[in-house]
Amino acid sequence: MAKKTVADIEVKGKKVLMRCDFNVPQDDEGNITSDDRIVKALPTIKNILDRGGVLILMSHLGRPEGKRDEKYTLQPVAQRLSELLGKPVVFANDCVGPDPKAKAAALKPGDCMLLENLRFHKAETIKDKAAKEDKQLRQAKDDFARQLAAMADVYVDDAFGTAHRDNASMYTVPVVMEGKPRVIGFLIEKELKFLGDTLKNPEHPFIAILGGAKVSDKIGVIENLIGKVDAIVIGGAMAYTFLKAQGKQIGNSRCEDDFIEKATEMIEHAKEAGCEIALPKDSVVAQELKESAANKVVGENIEDGWLGLDIGPESQKLFASKLGGARTIVWNGPMGVFEMPPFDEGTKAVAQAVADATDKGAKSIIGGGDSASAVTKLGLEERISHISTGGGASLEFLEGKKFVCLEILDEK
Q: Annotated active-site positions, please? A: 37, 214, 369, 392
Query: Residues of 14-23 as b/e, b for ≥16 C-beta within 10 angstroms?
Result: bbbbbbbbbb
- Report yes or no: 182 and 155 within 8 Å, Cβ to Cβ: yes
Q: Which of 47, 372, 323 is nearest to 212 (CA)?
A: 372
Residue 116: name the closest of 69, 176, 52 by CA: 69
Q: With contact defined as beta carbons under 8 Å apart, do 309 and 343 qualify?
A: yes
**Closest to 117 in 3D by CA, of 75, 54, 151, 159:** 75
3 pairs with which residues across the strands? Answer: 411
Angle at 367 between CA 361 and CA 370, to 5 degrees: 115
Helix 345-359 and helix 313-324: axis angle, to 10°? 20
How many whole angstroms separate alpha carbon 210 and alpha carbon 176? 38
Listing DSSP states for 233-263 in one string gives EE-STHHHHHHHHTT--BTT----GGGHHHH
Distance CA 89, CA 172 (A): 26
Q: Rounded to whole angstroms, how far apart are CA atoms 269 and 27?
A: 45
DSSP 3-state of 122: helix
> Phi, psi at residue 168, to the nearest 5°?
-55, -45
User: How far is 158 from 47, CA to CA, in rounded Å?
Assistant: 13
For every residue of 313-357, DSSP letters joined together read HHHHHHHHHHHHT-SEEEEES-SS-TTSTTTTHHHHHHHHHHHHH
